[in-house]
A and B are shown apart, each in its own frame.
Chain A
Amino acid sequence: MKQYRTHCLVCTGTGCVSNHAFDIKTALESEIIKQGLKDEVTVIATGCNGFCERGPVMVVQPENIFYQELKEKDIPFLVEEHFLKGRPVEKMMYVPPKEEAVIPKMSDIEFFKHQLLVVLRNRGRIDPEKIDEYIGYDGYRALGKALTEMKPEQIIEEVKTAGLRGRGGAGFPTGIKWGFCEQAEEDTKYLICNADEGDPGAFMDRSILEADPHAVLEGMVIGAKAIGAQEGFIYVRDEYPLALRRINIAIEQATEYGLLGENILGSGFNFKLNVVRGGGAFVCGEETALIASIEGEVGRPKPRPPYPAQKGLWGKPTNNNNVETWANVPQIILRGGGWFASLGTKESKGTKVFSLVGKVNNTGLVEVPMGTTLRTIVFDIGGGVLKGKKFKAVQSGGPSGGCVPESLIDLPVDFEKLTEAGAIMGSGGLIVMDEDTCMVDVAKYFVEFLEEESCGKCNPCREGLKRLKEVLTLITQGKGEAKHLEMLDDIALLMKEASLCALGATAPNPVLTTLKYFREEYEEHIFQRRCRAKVCKDLIMYRIIAEKCTGCQRCVKACPTEAITGPRSQPHNLEESKCIKCGACYEVCKFDAIAGDAIYIE
């Protein structure tokens, strides 16, 4: 392979691509040629770097310089300054919130410093569309080991030693699950990789497939050997075109290299892999619904038992794992179960990828050892709450997760601890909420999402979600009654205990955790008709404080309904009946440079 002095690793994950990363890449390439550097500097398109917030981003190696928010017009300057004259360009470097000095090196940036990359180890360093680059970083060595040196029982034993638990949500021990399927006495067995990822705001599985598709393939072939499966299916949601493209390229290349298909690595083992494009419903991620969907039926959950390990796809023993679960497997086989088990907590081993979003400075994809505290994730990696607002809660685990309050900020994040707190690991979505968030409104938001996504087959989920929404809506409209709290508890109990699948059983979590940790907000809504976060429109009123109003007329112009009137330089008048409580006046009232100083919400 050709040697280069400098490598530009341009992120081409979905986030950066939507910010024109491919244009940046093209501009870099042509500028490098133009400035006569094409034998010295090379440009590589990598998978998601994680710091999507700052996209498009690029890392320059070997110096490890991190460039962010790149613009096409700045590329000629960058190429000249950095690559020709050897002066890295500060203008495009990262500045932490509330600071002024740039941090040139990626490894010094807080967002990256606390992360430990196992699953995402190849993110931002290889071109996911080139199998040779994956192989260059130990790729497919684990497969060689598994096929030539290990018996199926040994592979399963290694995964058990690792203590790997499913990353799809429930955290079921992967080795034990493989064991069930391995023991099923049938000749035909199937594997599934669940890449449905229907949680809004979650994008870890997409990023893994985009950044390192071969890790997932390799994990699946190893799993197939352990279980005795001949055919596998990767169920990818249709909204993930880039992931689909990369997984298809990876399958093609792996097949060409004899790492997939007939007689893999000359060992006599055959494994065929198919890609299935998912229809998109959230509930199709539930494994029995997913199986029905692959079979071409309507994606509705079925009662278990029988479990897929006994009767799965087309009635045959089937083992389904999540994308991230599969991607962990090659590392476990290569470095040993003991190594993996040394990471994480007593019950939860290894690392977990989280998508950090919401009211936090650094949003993006982070991988940390299990047991890392919420504080580290939100305040160190995430850089704290946006605009210096006060932190209120983290919603963990997707729509049916729970809200963890500030008092639990030092909670070490693992399967057990999150469940104890009433939340769930789910797929690893973390939404940061600040003081401007109304917790009743949050509960209502998730309930509404889940109501849309419930398949409607069983009564507790279908009727329960409808009624949770009904009651929460009344409370947020200022029509709450004391009995409503008990009604919410009752529905939650019914759903948790009696629903057919985990969607219904976990759906009350947002309500239960907000009731548990933020009960006073519910009570304020019900008994005082007050929304402290000033979110619930029926409970707030906008007023102008006459003593503070200078009569600047900015609010008069901003109000879409002409509710505010008054001549210049005199305190304005806000007509309550016309006010639709949109908050536009509050936003523009900047007298004394303090937003909303003369506009008061109560």
Chain B
Amino acid sequence: MIPITINDKQTKVPEDLSVLEAVREQGIYIPTLCYHEALEPAGSCRLCIVEVEERGRVRTAASCVTPLTPNMIIRTDTEKILKIRRILLELLMARCPGLKVLEQMAAQMGVKKVRFAQEDDDCFLCGQCVRACSEIVGVSAIGFSDRGVNNKIGAPFLKASNVCISCGTCTTICPAGTFHLERVDNLVSLHRYSNEYHQEKCRVCGDHFVV
């Protein structure tokens, strides 16, 4: 256990936690989009930023990928942090208008309007599906392709993957609710990737598997 200070309150926490985990353990809210308890943190959505102070030096850090150090001072709700989170959310809402997760967070954080031109994407690239597919399922059927603003999630070359077992883990984990798995007879379609797979019904358990 190590001593740390969160929002002016001193406390002791296990040292192997990340800043995010330590803060959440105290029941304090930090919004996240790419973090999932069951996955390795990616540190890519940057919504979980907090202010950390170590040996007198203050910086902004993504809490999910920042390890704790003894006597660390963490502030989760400074005006600056809240402002940055609002701007970030505003940009994501311009990218993906109408997504429920974002709208709920926006309401909670007081984002009132979106000043940027609206796009019509429905994926904010948190990558949870990609990590789940590789870390939990062990298959890595999907990944990121292309760079920068053209970054997309999909199977290699955005074609149907030949290693996908159509387990649907990506669809359950997706915080945006973007993926759905649709099954018509023996044809499984993974929307968004436009993948289609032929499945057979297992005679023992009744579940489907890809052929």
Contact = CB atoms under 8 A, between A and B. Distances in A.
A493 B83 contact: yes
Contacts of B47: 459
Interface stretch (A108-116, A205-213, A385-393, A450-458): A450-458
Interface string A147-173: 000000000000000000000000000
Chief secondary structure at chain A's binding surface: helix
Nearest to B143: A298
Interface string A451-488: 11111111110111111001000000000000100010
Nearest to A457: B44
Residue from A452, A466, A498 having most chain B Cβ neighbours under 10 A: A498
A462 B46 CA distance: 12
A305 interface: yes
A483 B44 contact: no
Contacts of B125: 456, 459, 462
Interface size class of B (residues with CB under 8 A): 20 to 34
Nearest to A490: B87
A491 B146 CA distance: 23
Contacts of A334: none
B88 A494 contact: yes
Contacts of B124: 459
Contact of A497 (B43, B44, B49, B117): B49
A435 B123 CA distance: 44
B115 to A, nearest CB: 6
A458 B87 contact: no
A470 B117 contact: yes
Given A459-B124, A460-B88, A490-B87, A500 B62 contact: yes
A499 B150 CA distance: 18
Given A451-B149, A459-B45, A491 B87 contact: yes
Contacts of A494: 84, 87-88, 91
Interface in A411-462: 451-460, 462
Contacts of B43: 303, 458, 500
B206 to A, nearest CB: 39
Interface residues of A, number: 31
Contacts of B87: 490-491, 493-494
Interface string A228-264: 0000000000000000000000000000000000000
Interface string B87-106: 11001101100000000000
Given A454-B148, A487-B115, A303 B65 contact: yes
B91 A456 contact: no
Contact of A498 (B42, B46, B94, B147): B46
B129 to A, nearest CB: 15
A459 B44 contact: yes
B147 A456 contact: yes
A279 to B, nearest CB: 11
A343 interface: no
B45 A497 contact: no
Interface of B: 41-47, 49, 60, 62, 65-67, 80, 83-84, 87-88, 91-92, 94-95, 115-117, 124-125, 144, 146-151
Nearest first, the 7 closest Cβ-Cβ pairs linking A and B are A456-B151, A303-B43, A303-B65, A463-B91, A454-B148, A456-B148, A497-B60
27 contacts: A303-B43, A305-B67, A451-B148, A451-B149, A454-B147, A456-B151, A457-B42, A457-B44, A457-B144, A458-B44, A459-B44, A459-B45, A459-B46, A459-B91, A459-B125, A460-B46, A460-B88, A460-B91, A463-B95, A470-B116, A470-B117, A487-B115, A493-B84, A494-B91, A498-B46, A498-B60, A500-B43
